[in-house]
Structure 1
Amino acid sequence: MTETAAHPALWPAPHASGAVTATVQVPGSKSVTNRGLVLSAIASEPGWLRRPLRSRDTLLMASALRSMGVGIEETVSSGSSQPAASGSVAGGGGEAWRVIPAGLHGPATVDVGNAGTVMRFVPPVATLADGPIRFDGDPRCYERPLHGVINGLRALGARIDDEGRGALPLTVHGSGALEGGRVEIDASSSSQFVSALLLSGPRFNQGVEVRHVGGPLPSMPHIRMTVDMLRRAGAQVDAPESGGEPNVWRVTPGALRGVDLTVEPDLSNAQPFLAAALVTGGRVVVPDWPEHTTQPGDRLREIFTEMGGSCELTPEGLVFTGSGKIHGIDVDLSEVGELTPGVAAVAALADSPSTLRGVAHLRLHETDRLAALTEEINGLGGDVTETADGLVIRPRPLRGGTFHTYDDHRMATAGAIIGLAVPEVLIENVATTAKTLPDFPDLWTGMLGN
């Protein structure tokens, strides 16, 4: 009996027989979709999200808001359901969500799954509801840091019952309003602590002033995304990047308008497809890549170019071309930690060592990503060593074997990248990619022409 027959959850990662040439239509951004849902839910008028991402994380967010009374109507926008062009790989549809704010109310129970945005962005919204809102989710969510949100909300006047855990499960006892004001938090373990308080801040009686008082703040691009989206919804925000005080964000109280938002492709989810061009010496086009964006995934253009590729923004999208060679890299990924698994996978196939720095906070993500990457790449014959804040990767010839994912979507795509160059790699639970990248196996095999 073969290993895949004995373990049907193992997915044979496709091995590339030559250079990949494909156009891949990457689905919408999870980060933009979930921020857009929260802002629309607390606005003063209905809004639209066009081309949203439909994935486990975004459906959990929509369900959470619906449980508190928000209306979310799913439709197909006119003229946007055309078939993909010949030879392309479609990863998104023409869907649109109409979000209709309502008086938030409990009692309700929110399933956060293992979605950081849901477990952190929704409790501040729940303080505005009339009644208790209970939060629970996957076992891993109990281990993920939430103290910045819990402590911050309590300092702003919220009543939260977490039995002293500083983590899920918990109940927010909403009173229909929150006083708000000034709060100090340590967000060094997750920038989402800052974004969580800012997103609902316009609805707090005094607005909110968030002061980060801990160590280095990771994933700053995601905070800049939050600030940008708040401003687009009509909020007044004072932020460090616009001349404000370092590590301090202020949101003025006021009504948010309903916006008509078209969600950008998820640039971080474009990573495995760009990596495919790099690994195989091929050419991949990602349509609708924005010229200007707050998405951290835009940094892939710089990182993968340094590792041996080249890219160009053209009318057809971002064109990324591999040179047939992969070079090691010494890079600080503190602002773009979510890219680490994919960069590590490519680095394991490079012609020289790599050092990935500034990502100690990844030990607190969907899984301990640094330990997981070390274990799985070394399990295929690699030479990866953990450091205090990252990884050192010394390329060695790799062999096939099982690549475990730990229910982490980015571990699954990292394994698929390695499988392009290494025969007989088996990905455990590739279905976990549905968290942010629905239909990944079909997109991946379609890219390869299989």
Structure 2
Amino acid sequence: MAVVDIPGSKSITARALFLAAAADGVTTLRRPLRSDDTEGFAEGLTRLGYRVGRTPDTWHVDGRPQGPAVTEADVYCRDGATTARFLPTLAAAGHGTYRFDASAQMRRRPLLPLTRALRDLGVDLRHEEAEGHHPLRVAAAGVEGGAVTLDAGQSSQYLTALLLLGPLTRKGLRITVTDLVSAPYVEITLAMMRAFGADVRVEGDVFAVAPGGYRATTYAVEPDASTASYFFAAAALTGREVTVPGLGEGALQGDLRFVDVLRRMGAHVEIAPDRTTVRGTGELRGLTVDMRDISDTMPTLAALAPFATGPVRIEDVGNTRVKECDRLEACAENLRRLGVRVRTGPDWIEIHPGTPSPAEIKTYGDHRIVMSFAVTSLHTPGIGFDDPGCVRKTFPDFHEAFGAWAAEALPRGGARPHRNGEHTRSEI
């Protein structure tokens, strides 16, 4: 049995950093993710005057319920969407003038639903160039709170940012949501807010957050379920087994539901209280699946899909078009480069069985495109990437870890499972 230690969750680490910064006291984060995104978030907090002490496995954050310690700051958010969306919201609860900018990739990503909601709450926020995009400037004077309406149909991060802000407002927040994508990520936010002492309730489409701030705590970050999906998919493809400790029945992350998709395709899945194991059975069936709530794993399934015995149709993933790149189109283009037949629509992709041929994957600087098509490469030697290093965003050591698992699970010359009636040999 191959056991893989997956780095901490990016989503949980980002939320934990916000909560720790806003809490009253010193918070200890255990096993936070150390990657370009989370380092960028921590650096942004430091620019705002928060103290962040870091050791390899533990971070300590001195919280400031009153907001940033400085009255002026210029924060560069790198490629991080959580950094670029959460930190301006955190700064709005303080007092001062704060400017936020980001990479060219992040500048292209939409922000307007969140900034409109902040303005509706009285925040003095100005986009310096394109409306609804970075760079932006916040002239903060605290947030009174009250009722606000939000469209979170493009990104659940808009709702998370407002929820996290709620306890820092003077009157609390009552958020009416007209549309919501990736709802499990909001469940992560709610659970973590409660762990830091917040009072938050859900009444249908309304989220009610009481004022009162947060309490410092010690918080353990669970492994990243989106990252685990590449190893789970690799096991399902190769007929081998992988176990990820720390992700089990009580996991916060909805992306662990990706293993249910693999189960439907024919893999054996065991979810225990403290771990999840996937074992390939030599069969991958085609299917139609709605991935609206686990859309970060859509590229993983797309990269695995050619090896199924029937078409794989992934639906309700229109929001993946406004991620680090247009992921839906990036998957389609790269599968076609590999010689696989693909059809797409506004929010769906259909992938037909085929035998991929070696080609260079166009990554668009997107870490998830690289890690997903690394799964394809297990059955297609010769696949390359134009920017393999972009995995530093969430998993700097991905290539080493994935290669080590493949070397252990698939000894050179070892047999692979049958696919479409043909027997192939491993060339790992």
TM norm. shorter chain > 0.5: yes
Q: Alpha-carbon deviation of 1:63?
A: 0.8
Query: Is the 8 Å Cα contact of residues 341 and 373 (structure 1) preserved in structure 2?
Result: yes
Deviations 1:366-417 (A, max 9, x none): 0000110110011110111111211011112210010111011110011101
Query: Is the 8 Å Cα contact of residues 42 and 200 (structure 1) preserved in structure 2?
Result: no
Q: Alpha-carbon deviation of 1:32?
A: 0.6
1:171–1:349 CA distance, 2 compared to 1 (3 A) = same
Equivalent residue letter for 1:24? V
Q: Equivalent residue for 2:419?
A: none
- Verify: 1:174 aligned to 2:140, yes or no: yes
Q: Equivalent residue for 1:87?
A: none
Of 313-322 and 324-333, deviating more is 313-322
- Verify: 1:101 aligned to 2:63, yes or no: yes
Query: Is the 8 Å Cα contact of residues 63 and 216 (structure 2) preserved in structure 1?
Result: no
Query: Is the 8 Å Cα contact of residues 89 and 161 (structure 2) preserved in structure 1?
Result: yes
- Verify: 1:324 aligned to 2:282, yes or no: yes
Q: Equivalent residue for 1:9?
A: none
Q: Equivalent residue for 1:126?
A: 91
Q: Equivalent residue for 2:420?
A: none
Please give the alpha-carbon distance, in whole angstroms, between the structure 2 residues aligned to 1:442 and 1:260.
31
> Which of 326, 339, 364 is the aligned partner of 1:381?
339
Q: Alpha-carbon deviation of 1:438?
A: 2.1
Q: Alpha-carbon deviation of 1:309?
A: 0.6
Q: Equivalent residue for 2:349?
A: 391
Q: Equivalent residue for 2:195?
A: 232
1:52–1:424 CA distance, 2 compared to 1 (3 A) = same
Please give the alpha-carbon distance, in whole angstroms, between the structure 2 residues aligned to 1:414 and 1:289.
20
Q: Equivalent residue for 1:165?
A: 131
Equivalent residue letter for 2:174? E
> Which of 117, 120, 140 is the aligned partner of 2:105?
140
Please give the alpha-carbon distance, in whole angstroms, between the structure 2 residues aligned to 1:446 and 1:302.
25
Query: Is the 8 Å Cα contact of residues 264 and 290 (structure 1) preserved in structure 2?
Result: no
Q: Equivalent residue for 2:323?
A: 365
Query: Is the 8 Å Cα contact of residues 106 and 133 (structure 1) preserved in structure 2?
Result: yes
- Verify: 1:66 aligned to 2:46, yes or no: yes
Q: What is the CA RMSD across the aligned residues, in angstroms?
A: 1.4
For this pair of structures, how many residues does the alignment match? Answer: 404
Equivalent residue letter for 2:136? L
The SS at the match of 2:215 is coil
Q: Equivalent residue for 1:207?
A: 172
Q: Which ranges of structure 2 fall in alignment gaps of 5 or more residues? A: 409-428
Please give the alpha-carbon distance, in whole angstroms, between the structure 1 residues aligned to 2:272 and 2:84.
38
**Which has the bigger relative contact order, CA under 8 A and spacing at least 6?**
1
The SS at the match of 2:40 is helix
> Which of 137, 146, 150 is the aligned partner of 1:185?
150
Of 373-382 and 285-294, deviating more is 285-294
Please give the alpha-carbon distance, in whole angstroms, between the structure 1 residues aligned to 2:238 and 2:253.
26
1:188–1:48 CA distance, 2 compared to 1 (3 A) = same
Query: Is the 8 Å Cα contact of residues 145 and 167 (structure 1) preserved in structure 2?
Result: yes
Q: Percent identity?
A: 35
Q: Alpha-carbon deviation of 1:68?
A: 0.8
The normalised TM-score by structure 1 is 0.87
Which aligned runs of 4 or more in structure 1 are off by greater than 6 angstroms? Answer: none
Query: Is the 8 Å Cα contact of residues 49 and 97 (structure 1) preserved in structure 2?
Result: yes
Q: Alpha-carbon deviation of 1:166?
A: 1.4
Q: Alpha-carbon deviation of 1:449?
A: 2.3
Q: How do 1:245-284 and structure 2 match up within 5 A?
A: 246-284=204-242
The SS at the match of 1:448 is helix
Query: Is the 8 Å Cα contact of residues 22 and 448 (structure 1) preserved in structure 2?
Result: no
Q: Equivalent residue for 1:111?
A: 76
Query: Is the 8 Å Cα contact of residues 112 and 138 (structure 1) preserved in structure 2?
Result: yes
Q: Alpha-carbon deviation of 1:316?
A: 7.4
1:295–1:314 CA distance, 2 compared to 1 (3 A) = closer
Equivalent residue letter for 2:317? V
Q: Equivalent residue for 2:36?
A: 56
Query: Is the 8 Å Cα contact of residues 148 and 173 (structure 2) preserved in structure 1?
Result: yes
Q: Equivalent residue for 2:25?
A: 45
Equivalent residue letter for 1:115? G
1:421–1:132 CA distance, 2 compared to 1 (3 A) = same
Q: How do 1:149-160 and structure 2 match up within 5 A?
A: 149-160=114-125
The normalised TM-score by structure 2 is 0.92
Q: Alpha-carbon deviation of 1:315?
A: 7.5
